[in-house]
Amino acid sequence: MANLWGGRFTEATDASAYRFNQSISFDKRMYEEDIAGSLAHAKMLGKQGIISSEDMEKIIDGLNSIRDDIAAGRLVISEEAEDIHSFIESELTDRIGDAGKKLHTGRSRNDQVALDMKLYTRKRIQETDRLIDLLMRELLKIMEDNIDTYMPGFTHLQKAQPVTLAHHAGAYFEMFIRDRQRLADIYERMNTCPLGAGALAGTTYDLDREYTAEKLGFTGGPTRNSMDSVSDRDYLIEFLSALSTIMMHLSRSCEEIILWNSNEYRFVEIDDRYSTGSSIMPQKKNPDIAELVRGKTGRVYGALMALLTTMKGIPLAYNKDMQEDKEAAFDAMDTVLDCLREFTGMISTIRFNRDIMEDSAKKGFTNATDAADYLVKKGVPFREAHSITGRLVLKCVEKGIALDDLPIEEYKAESDVFEKDIYDAISMKTCVEKRLTKGAPGRERMLEAVRFYRVYLEDMASDKD
Protein backbone atom coordinates (compact mmCIF):
# COMPACT_ATOMS: atom_id res chain seq x y z
CA MET A 1 0.00 0.00 0.00
CA ALA A 2 1.56 3.29 -1.15
CA ASN A 3 2.23 6.04 1.39
CA LEU A 4 1.31 9.68 0.80
CA TRP A 5 4.97 10.53 1.39
CA GLY A 6 8.41 8.98 0.80
CA GLY A 7 10.37 10.91 -1.82
CA ARG A 8 13.10 11.98 0.56
CA PHE A 9 13.44 8.59 2.23
CA THR A 10 16.03 6.00 1.20
CA GLU A 11 14.84 3.17 3.45
CA ALA A 12 11.47 1.64 4.14
CA THR A 13 9.92 2.17 7.54
CA ASP A 14 10.67 -0.61 10.00
CA ALA A 15 7.70 -3.00 10.02
CA SER A 16 7.21 -2.68 13.76
CA ALA A 17 7.49 1.10 13.61
CA TYR A 18 5.01 1.16 10.73
CA ARG A 19 2.45 -0.76 12.78
CA PHE A 20 3.10 1.52 15.74
CA ASN A 21 2.59 4.60 13.56
CA GLN A 22 -0.47 3.50 11.58
CA SER A 23 -4.01 4.56 12.52
CA ILE A 24 -6.08 2.70 9.90
CA SER A 25 -7.23 0.15 12.50
CA PHE A 26 -9.29 2.82 14.24
CA ASP A 27 -9.66 5.79 11.89
CA LYS A 28 -11.24 3.60 9.19
CA ARG A 29 -14.57 4.30 10.87
CA MET A 30 -14.28 7.84 9.47
CA TYR A 31 -14.33 6.75 5.81
CA GLU A 32 -17.65 8.51 5.12
CA GLU A 33 -16.35 11.76 6.59
CA ASP A 34 -13.05 11.46 4.72
CA ILE A 35 -14.85 10.95 1.42
CA ALA A 36 -17.32 13.78 2.14
CA GLY A 37 -14.39 16.14 2.75
CA SER A 38 -12.61 14.98 -0.39
CA LEU A 39 -15.75 15.45 -2.49
CA ALA A 40 -16.12 19.04 -1.27
CA HIS A 41 -12.42 19.69 -1.83
CA ALA A 42 -12.50 18.24 -5.38
CA LYS A 43 -15.54 20.33 -6.31
CA MET A 44 -13.82 23.44 -4.99
CA LEU A 45 -10.62 22.65 -6.91
CA GLY A 46 -12.64 22.29 -10.11
CA LYS A 47 -14.67 25.44 -9.47
CA GLN A 48 -11.47 27.41 -8.91
CA GLY A 49 -9.83 26.03 -12.03
CA ILE A 50 -7.04 24.43 -10.01
CA ILE A 51 -7.85 21.08 -11.63
CA SER A 52 -9.77 20.51 -14.85
CA SER A 53 -13.50 19.82 -14.86
CA GLU A 54 -12.77 16.46 -16.43
CA ASP A 55 -10.44 15.45 -13.61
CA MET A 56 -12.92 16.79 -11.07
CA GLU A 57 -15.70 14.61 -12.45
CA LYS A 58 -13.44 11.54 -12.48
CA ILE A 59 -12.50 12.17 -8.84
CA ILE A 60 -16.12 12.70 -7.80
CA ASP A 61 -17.30 9.52 -9.56
CA GLY A 62 -14.39 7.55 -8.12
CA LEU A 63 -14.98 8.74 -4.56
CA ASN A 64 -18.70 8.00 -4.78
CA SER A 65 -17.99 4.48 -6.04
CA ILE A 66 -15.51 3.86 -3.21
CA ARG A 67 -18.02 5.05 -0.60
CA ASP A 68 -20.79 2.90 -2.06
CA ASP A 69 -18.56 -0.17 -2.32
CA ILE A 70 -17.37 0.13 1.30
CA ALA A 71 -20.95 0.61 2.52
CA ALA A 72 -22.14 -2.43 0.56
CA GLY A 73 -19.25 -4.60 1.72
CA ARG A 74 -17.81 -4.93 -1.79
CA LEU A 75 -14.62 -3.14 -0.75
CA VAL A 76 -12.83 -4.04 2.48
CA ILE A 77 -10.63 -1.35 3.99
CA SER A 78 -7.11 -2.77 4.05
CA GLU A 79 -5.22 -2.35 7.29
CA GLU A 80 -1.98 -2.39 5.33
CA ALA A 81 -2.61 1.30 4.68
CA GLU A 82 -1.17 3.88 7.05
CA ASP A 83 -4.51 5.62 7.59
CA ILE A 84 -7.95 6.03 6.06
CA HIS A 85 -6.76 9.00 4.00
CA SER A 86 -3.98 7.05 2.26
CA PHE A 87 -6.27 4.06 1.70
CA ILE A 88 -8.95 6.11 -0.05
CA GLU A 89 -6.49 8.11 -2.13
CA SER A 90 -4.63 4.97 -3.18
CA GLU A 91 -7.86 3.21 -4.07
CA LEU A 92 -9.01 6.26 -6.00
CA THR A 93 -5.80 6.36 -8.05
CA ASP A 94 -6.11 2.65 -8.78
CA ARG A 95 -9.61 3.28 -10.12
CA ILE A 96 -9.24 6.50 -12.11
CA GLY A 97 -5.50 6.81 -12.75
CA ASP A 98 -3.44 9.98 -12.52
CA ALA A 99 -6.47 12.19 -11.89
CA GLY A 100 -6.64 10.64 -8.44
CA LYS A 101 -3.18 11.98 -7.64
CA LYS A 102 -4.50 15.53 -8.05
CA LEU A 103 -7.05 15.28 -5.23
CA HIS A 104 -4.56 16.26 -2.54
CA THR A 105 -3.69 19.56 -4.25
CA GLY A 106 -3.86 22.41 -1.74
CA ARG A 107 -4.48 20.04 1.15
CA SER A 108 -2.50 18.36 3.95
CA ARG A 109 -3.32 15.34 6.02
CA ASN A 110 -3.29 17.76 8.96
CA ASP A 111 -6.32 19.74 7.82
CA GLN A 112 -7.82 16.56 6.36
CA VAL A 113 -7.78 14.68 9.66
CA ALA A 114 -8.91 17.79 11.55
CA LEU A 115 -11.87 17.98 9.18
CA ASP A 116 -12.70 14.28 9.44
CA MET A 117 -12.68 14.39 13.23
CA LYS A 118 -14.91 17.44 13.31
CA LEU A 119 -17.40 15.88 10.88
CA TYR A 120 -17.41 12.64 12.85
CA THR A 121 -17.82 14.42 16.20
CA ARG A 122 -20.70 16.50 14.83
CA LYS A 123 -22.57 13.31 13.94
CA ARG A 124 -21.97 11.80 17.36
CA ILE A 125 -23.21 14.97 19.07
CA GLN A 126 -26.42 14.76 17.07
CA GLU A 127 -26.85 11.06 17.81
CA THR A 128 -26.19 11.59 21.52
CA ASP A 129 -28.77 14.36 21.60
CA ARG A 130 -31.32 12.14 19.85
CA LEU A 131 -30.87 9.35 22.39
CA ILE A 132 -31.14 11.76 25.31
CA ASP A 133 -34.40 12.98 23.77
CA LEU A 134 -35.75 9.40 23.77
CA LEU A 135 -34.65 8.98 27.38
CA MET A 136 -36.38 12.20 28.40
CA ARG A 137 -39.60 11.03 26.78
CA GLU A 138 -39.51 7.93 28.98
CA LEU A 139 -38.85 10.08 32.04
CA LEU A 140 -41.84 12.23 31.12
CA LYS A 141 -44.06 9.14 30.94
CA ILE A 142 -42.91 8.18 34.43
CA MET A 143 -43.75 11.67 35.64
CA GLU A 144 -47.19 11.70 34.02
CA ASP A 145 -48.04 8.33 35.58
CA ASN A 146 -46.75 9.19 39.05
CA ILE A 147 -47.95 12.69 39.95
CA ASP A 148 -49.53 11.20 43.08
CA THR A 149 -46.96 8.48 43.84
CA TYR A 150 -45.59 9.46 47.25
CA MET A 151 -42.09 8.47 48.27
CA PRO A 152 -39.36 9.62 50.61
CA GLY A 153 -36.96 12.27 49.46
CA PHE A 154 -33.45 11.75 50.79
CA THR A 155 -30.53 13.76 52.09
CA HIS A 156 -27.37 11.97 53.27
CA LEU A 157 -29.16 8.81 52.05
CA GLN A 158 -31.51 9.30 55.02
CA LYS A 159 -35.24 9.76 54.58
CA ALA A 160 -35.88 13.50 54.75
CA GLN A 161 -39.20 14.84 53.42
CA PRO A 162 -41.99 13.39 51.30
CA VAL A 163 -41.87 13.98 47.54
CA THR A 164 -43.40 12.21 44.57
CA LEU A 165 -41.86 9.88 42.03
CA ALA A 166 -42.80 12.48 39.39
CA HIS A 167 -40.80 15.11 41.27
CA HIS A 168 -37.83 12.76 41.61
CA ALA A 169 -37.85 11.90 37.90
CA GLY A 170 -38.21 15.60 37.10
CA ALA A 171 -34.86 16.28 38.77
CA TYR A 172 -33.18 14.06 36.18
CA PHE A 173 -35.23 15.62 33.38
CA GLU A 174 -33.72 18.98 34.35
CA MET A 175 -30.21 17.48 34.36
CA PHE A 176 -30.69 16.15 30.85
CA ILE A 177 -32.02 19.52 29.65
CA ARG A 178 -28.68 21.01 30.68
CA ASP A 179 -26.81 18.13 29.05
CA ARG A 180 -28.56 18.90 25.76
CA GLN A 181 -27.78 22.59 26.14
CA ARG A 182 -24.12 21.73 26.55
CA LEU A 183 -24.19 19.57 23.42
CA ALA A 184 -25.85 22.38 21.46
CA ASP A 185 -23.25 24.88 22.67
CA ILE A 186 -20.38 22.59 21.66
CA TYR A 187 -21.94 21.91 18.26
CA GLU A 188 -22.28 25.62 17.53
CA ARG A 189 -18.81 26.51 18.78
CA MET A 190 -17.05 23.74 16.84
CA ASN A 191 -18.97 24.27 13.60
CA THR A 192 -16.13 25.91 11.66
CA CYS A 193 -14.29 24.26 8.78
CA PRO A 194 -10.52 23.59 8.99
CA LEU A 195 -10.24 22.43 5.37
CA GLY A 196 -7.80 24.67 3.53
CA ALA A 197 -5.62 25.31 6.55
CA GLY A 198 -3.02 23.00 5.02
CA ALA A 199 -0.25 21.61 7.19
CA LEU A 200 -0.24 24.75 9.34
CA ALA A 201 0.22 27.82 7.11
CA GLY A 202 -2.50 27.65 4.49
CA THR A 203 -1.57 27.32 0.83
CA THR A 204 -0.57 29.39 -2.20
CA TYR A 205 -3.44 27.94 -4.25
CA ASP A 206 -6.51 30.08 -4.72
CA LEU A 207 -8.81 27.99 -2.54
CA ASP A 208 -12.39 29.03 -1.83
CA ARG A 209 -12.65 28.04 1.81
CA GLU A 210 -16.09 29.58 2.20
CA TYR A 211 -17.36 27.28 -0.55
CA THR A 212 -16.07 24.08 1.09
CA ALA A 213 -17.33 25.21 4.50
CA GLU A 214 -20.80 25.73 3.07
CA LYS A 215 -20.74 22.42 1.18
CA LEU A 216 -19.89 20.59 4.39
CA GLY A 217 -22.52 22.34 6.51
CA PHE A 218 -20.19 24.42 8.64
CA THR A 219 -22.45 27.35 9.51
CA GLY A 220 -19.56 29.16 11.20
CA GLY A 221 -17.64 29.30 7.94
CA PRO A 222 -13.92 28.51 7.64
CA THR A 223 -11.63 28.61 10.66
CA ARG A 224 -9.82 31.93 11.11
CA ASN A 225 -6.29 30.76 11.97
CA SER A 226 -4.59 27.95 10.06
CA MET A 227 -2.30 26.97 12.94
CA ASP A 228 -5.15 26.74 15.39
CA SER A 229 -7.19 24.82 12.80
CA VAL A 230 -4.86 21.83 12.77
CA SER A 231 -3.35 21.92 16.26
CA ASP A 232 -6.19 21.96 18.78
CA ARG A 233 -8.86 19.51 19.82
CA ASP A 234 -10.59 21.63 22.44
CA TYR A 235 -13.98 20.93 20.86
CA LEU A 236 -13.33 17.22 21.40
CA ILE A 237 -12.27 17.84 24.99
CA GLU A 238 -15.50 19.77 25.49
CA PHE A 239 -17.51 16.92 23.99
CA LEU A 240 -15.80 14.35 26.21
CA SER A 241 -16.49 16.60 29.19
CA ALA A 242 -20.17 16.79 28.23
CA LEU A 243 -20.25 13.01 27.76
CA SER A 244 -18.68 12.59 31.20
CA THR A 245 -21.40 14.76 32.72
CA ILE A 246 -24.10 12.74 30.92
CA MET A 247 -22.56 9.55 32.30
CA MET A 248 -22.42 11.07 35.78
CA HIS A 249 -26.16 11.74 35.60
CA LEU A 250 -26.87 8.24 34.31
CA SER A 251 -24.64 6.75 37.00
CA ARG A 252 -26.39 8.61 39.80
CA SER A 253 -29.75 7.34 38.62
CA CYS A 254 -28.38 3.81 38.24
CA GLU A 255 -27.05 3.95 41.79
CA GLU A 256 -30.56 4.77 43.02
CA ILE A 257 -32.13 2.04 40.90
CA ILE A 258 -29.63 -0.48 42.27
CA LEU A 259 -30.52 0.55 45.83
CA TRP A 260 -34.25 0.68 45.14
CA ASN A 261 -34.11 -2.79 43.55
CA SER A 262 -32.60 -4.32 46.70
CA ASN A 263 -34.63 -6.35 49.20
CA GLU A 264 -34.10 -3.60 51.75
CA TYR A 265 -35.89 -0.99 49.62
CA ARG A 266 -38.10 -2.92 47.16
CA PHE A 267 -39.13 0.38 45.52
CA VAL A 268 -38.70 -1.06 42.03
CA GLU A 269 -38.50 -4.31 40.16
CA ILE A 270 -36.24 -4.31 37.12
CA ASP A 271 -37.65 -6.20 34.16
CA ASP A 272 -36.17 -9.63 33.44
CA ARG A 273 -34.94 -8.30 30.09
CA TYR A 274 -32.58 -5.93 31.91
CA SER A 275 -31.47 -8.27 34.71
CA THR A 276 -29.23 -11.30 34.99
CA GLY A 277 -28.97 -14.26 37.34
CA SER A 278 -26.27 -16.01 39.31
CA SER A 279 -24.40 -19.14 38.21
CA ILE A 280 -24.61 -20.56 41.74
CA MET A 281 -27.42 -18.79 43.65
CA PRO A 282 -30.81 -19.59 42.08
CA GLN A 283 -32.67 -16.79 43.85
CA LYS A 284 -30.54 -13.95 42.46
CA LYS A 285 -31.85 -11.31 40.05
CA ASN A 286 -29.02 -8.85 39.57
CA PRO A 287 -29.28 -5.27 38.25
CA ASP A 288 -26.32 -5.78 35.92
CA ILE A 289 -27.33 -3.21 33.29
CA ALA A 290 -27.54 -0.47 35.91
CA GLU A 291 -24.25 -1.61 37.42
CA LEU A 292 -22.51 -1.63 34.04
CA VAL A 293 -23.69 1.89 33.23
CA ARG A 294 -22.38 2.98 36.62
CA GLY A 295 -19.09 1.18 35.97
CA LYS A 296 -18.61 2.47 32.43
CA THR A 297 -18.78 6.04 33.71
CA GLY A 298 -15.15 5.76 34.81
CA ARG A 299 -14.21 4.62 31.32
CA VAL A 300 -15.61 7.81 29.81
CA TYR A 301 -13.92 9.93 32.47
CA GLY A 302 -10.67 8.20 31.51
CA ALA A 303 -11.02 9.26 27.88
CA LEU A 304 -11.42 12.89 28.94
CA MET A 305 -8.38 12.77 31.20
CA ALA A 306 -6.33 10.98 28.53
CA LEU A 307 -6.97 13.67 25.92
CA LEU A 308 -6.40 16.52 28.37
CA THR A 309 -3.09 14.92 29.31
CA THR A 310 -2.12 14.32 25.68
CA MET A 311 -2.80 17.92 24.66
CA LYS A 312 -1.26 19.70 27.63
CA GLY A 313 2.35 19.77 26.43
CA ILE A 314 2.06 19.97 22.64
CA PRO A 315 3.71 23.01 21.00
CA LEU A 316 2.13 24.53 17.90
CA ALA A 317 1.25 23.29 15.41
CA TYR A 318 0.44 19.64 14.59
CA ASN A 319 2.31 16.82 16.35
CA LYS A 320 1.84 13.06 15.98
CA ASP A 321 0.72 12.92 19.62
CA MET A 322 -2.62 14.17 18.34
CA GLN A 323 -3.29 10.83 16.68
CA GLU A 324 -4.07 9.75 20.25
CA ASP A 325 -7.24 11.87 20.14
CA LYS A 326 -9.17 9.07 18.46
CA GLU A 327 -9.16 5.65 20.11
CA ALA A 328 -10.25 6.72 23.58
CA ALA A 329 -12.66 9.32 22.18
CA PHE A 330 -14.28 6.79 19.85
CA ASP A 331 -14.62 4.37 22.75
CA ALA A 332 -16.19 7.06 24.95
CA MET A 333 -18.67 8.04 22.24
CA ASP A 334 -19.66 4.41 21.65
CA THR A 335 -19.92 3.77 25.37
CA VAL A 336 -22.25 6.71 26.01
CA LEU A 337 -24.52 5.81 23.11
CA ASP A 338 -24.73 2.19 24.34
CA CYS A 339 -25.43 3.31 27.91
CA LEU A 340 -28.17 5.71 26.83
CA ARG A 341 -29.89 2.97 24.81
CA GLU A 342 -29.74 0.39 27.59
CA PHE A 343 -30.66 2.82 30.38
CA THR A 344 -33.69 4.00 28.41
CA GLY A 345 -34.80 0.43 27.80
CA MET A 346 -34.38 -0.38 31.47
CA ILE A 347 -36.43 2.53 32.82
CA SER A 348 -39.12 2.07 30.17
CA THR A 349 -39.81 -1.44 31.51
CA ILE A 350 -39.19 -0.92 35.22
CA ARG A 351 -42.04 -1.50 37.70
CA PHE A 352 -42.51 0.86 40.63
CA ASN A 353 -43.91 -0.51 43.89
CA ARG A 354 -45.97 2.54 44.79
CA ASP A 355 -47.45 1.25 48.06
CA ILE A 356 -44.02 0.31 49.39
CA MET A 357 -42.64 3.73 48.44
CA GLU A 358 -45.41 5.55 50.27
CA ASP A 359 -45.15 3.28 53.30
CA SER A 360 -41.41 3.94 53.39
CA ALA A 361 -42.06 7.68 53.45
CA LYS A 362 -44.41 7.28 56.41
CA LYS A 363 -42.19 4.97 58.43
CA GLY A 364 -39.19 7.14 57.71
CA PHE A 365 -40.87 10.08 59.50
CA THR A 366 -40.61 12.26 56.39
CA ASN A 367 -43.64 14.17 57.70
CA ALA A 368 -41.86 15.22 60.90
CA THR A 369 -41.14 18.70 59.54
CA ASP A 370 -44.84 19.08 58.78
CA ALA A 371 -45.71 18.09 62.35
CA ALA A 372 -43.38 20.83 63.61
CA ASP A 373 -44.89 23.31 61.13
CA TYR A 374 -48.35 22.37 62.46
CA LEU A 375 -47.28 23.61 65.91
CA VAL A 376 -45.63 26.74 64.54
CA LYS A 377 -48.84 27.70 62.74
CA LYS A 378 -50.59 27.46 66.13
CA GLY A 379 -48.16 29.85 67.75
CA VAL A 380 -45.46 27.54 69.10
CA PRO A 381 -41.92 28.89 68.46
CA PHE A 382 -40.16 26.80 65.80
CA ARG A 383 -37.25 25.71 68.01
CA GLU A 384 -39.71 24.43 70.65
CA ALA A 385 -41.86 22.79 67.97
CA HIS A 386 -38.72 21.09 66.61
CA SER A 387 -37.92 19.67 70.03
CA ILE A 388 -41.49 18.47 70.67
CA THR A 389 -41.61 16.71 67.31
CA GLY A 390 -38.24 15.10 67.94
CA ARG A 391 -39.58 13.57 71.16
CA LEU A 392 -42.64 12.30 69.29
CA VAL A 393 -40.40 10.66 66.68
CA LEU A 394 -38.43 8.98 69.48
CA LYS A 395 -41.67 7.57 70.91
CA CYS A 396 -42.58 6.19 67.47
CA VAL A 397 -39.15 4.63 67.04
CA GLU A 398 -39.52 2.89 70.41
CA LYS A 399 -42.98 1.62 69.48
CA GLY A 400 -42.06 0.73 65.89
CA ILE A 401 -44.84 2.87 64.38
CA ALA A 402 -45.18 5.95 62.16
CA LEU A 403 -46.27 9.41 63.29
CA ASP A 404 -49.54 8.72 61.50
CA ASP A 405 -50.19 5.81 63.90
CA LEU A 406 -49.30 7.54 67.17
CA PRO A 407 -52.41 7.97 69.40
CA ILE A 408 -53.63 11.54 69.95
CA GLU A 409 -53.04 11.10 73.69
CA GLU A 410 -49.33 10.74 73.04
CA TYR A 411 -49.38 13.94 70.99
CA LYS A 412 -51.20 15.83 73.72
CA ALA A 413 -48.80 14.54 76.35
CA GLU A 414 -46.09 16.53 74.58
CA SER A 415 -48.22 19.59 73.76
CA ASP A 416 -51.87 20.37 74.39
CA VAL A 417 -51.85 22.39 71.14
CA PHE A 418 -52.30 19.16 69.19
CA GLU A 419 -55.79 18.30 67.97
CA LYS A 420 -57.10 15.46 65.85
CA ASP A 421 -56.50 17.49 62.73
CA ILE A 422 -52.80 16.67 63.15
CA TYR A 423 -53.40 13.42 61.25
CA ASP A 424 -54.66 15.26 58.20
CA ALA A 425 -51.81 17.79 58.48
CA ILE A 426 -49.16 15.04 58.34
CA SER A 427 -50.76 12.77 55.75
CA MET A 428 -48.55 12.18 52.73
CA LYS A 429 -51.15 13.80 50.49
CA THR A 430 -51.27 16.97 52.56
CA CYS A 431 -47.51 17.11 53.09
CA VAL A 432 -46.86 16.97 49.36
CA GLU A 433 -49.75 18.98 47.98
CA LYS A 434 -49.26 21.98 50.24
CA ARG A 435 -45.73 22.38 48.88
CA LEU A 436 -46.63 24.80 46.13
CA THR A 437 -43.53 26.95 45.77
CA LYS A 438 -42.13 26.92 42.25
CA GLY A 439 -40.12 23.74 41.74
CA ALA A 440 -41.76 21.91 44.65
CA PRO A 441 -43.56 18.53 44.40
CA GLY A 442 -47.08 19.84 45.00
CA ARG A 443 -49.62 18.48 42.52
CA GLU A 444 -50.35 21.77 40.75
CA ARG A 445 -46.68 22.57 40.43
CA MET A 446 -45.93 19.12 39.05
CA LEU A 447 -48.73 19.38 36.51
CA GLU A 448 -47.23 22.71 35.41
CA ALA A 449 -43.82 21.06 35.14
CA VAL A 450 -45.20 18.21 33.04
CA ARG A 451 -46.86 20.68 30.68
CA PHE A 452 -43.60 22.63 30.39
CA TYR A 453 -41.61 19.46 29.65
CA ARG A 454 -44.09 18.38 26.98
CA VAL A 455 -43.72 21.73 25.23
CA TYR A 456 -39.95 21.54 25.61
CA LEU A 457 -39.78 18.18 23.85
CA GLU A 458 -42.15 19.36 21.11
CA ASP A 459 -40.08 22.49 20.55
CA MET A 460 -36.84 20.51 20.43
CA ALA A 461 -38.36 18.11 17.89
CA SER A 462 -39.59 20.97 15.69
CA ASP A 463 -36.14 22.60 15.80
CA LYS A 464 -34.64 19.39 14.41
CA ASP A 465 -37.11 19.23 11.48
Reported as type and span, the H/E element at residue 323 is: none
How far from 407 is each of 246, 265, 367, CA to CA, in Å?
48, 27, 16
∠ CA(328), CA(332), CA(333), 5° rounding?
Answer: 120
104 is catalytic: no
Angle, to 10 degrees, between the axis of helix 165-190 and the axis of helix 234-260? 170
CB neighbour list of residue 194: distance below 8 Å, 6 or more residues apart: 111, 114, 115, 118, 222, 223, 229, 230
46-49, long-range: CB within 8 Å, 24+ apart, which pairs?
47/208, 47/211, 48/205, 48/206, 48/207, 48/208
Task: Annotate 244-281 with three-state secondary structure.
Answer: HHHHHHHHHHHHHHHHHCCCCCCCEECCHHHCECCCCC
Is position 41 annotated as part of the catalytic site?
A: no
Query: With helix as H, strand as E and coil as C, how does 77-104 read?
Result: CCCCCCCHHHHHHHHHHHHHHHHHHHCC
Cα torsion 108, 114, 117, 123 to 10°: value is -110
**Choosing from 52, 78, 262, 278, which is the catalytic residue?**
278
* Cβ atoms 344, 138 nearer than 8 A: yes
Please tell me which residue in 16, 156, 279, 462 is annotated as part of the active site: 156
Catalytic residues: 156, 278
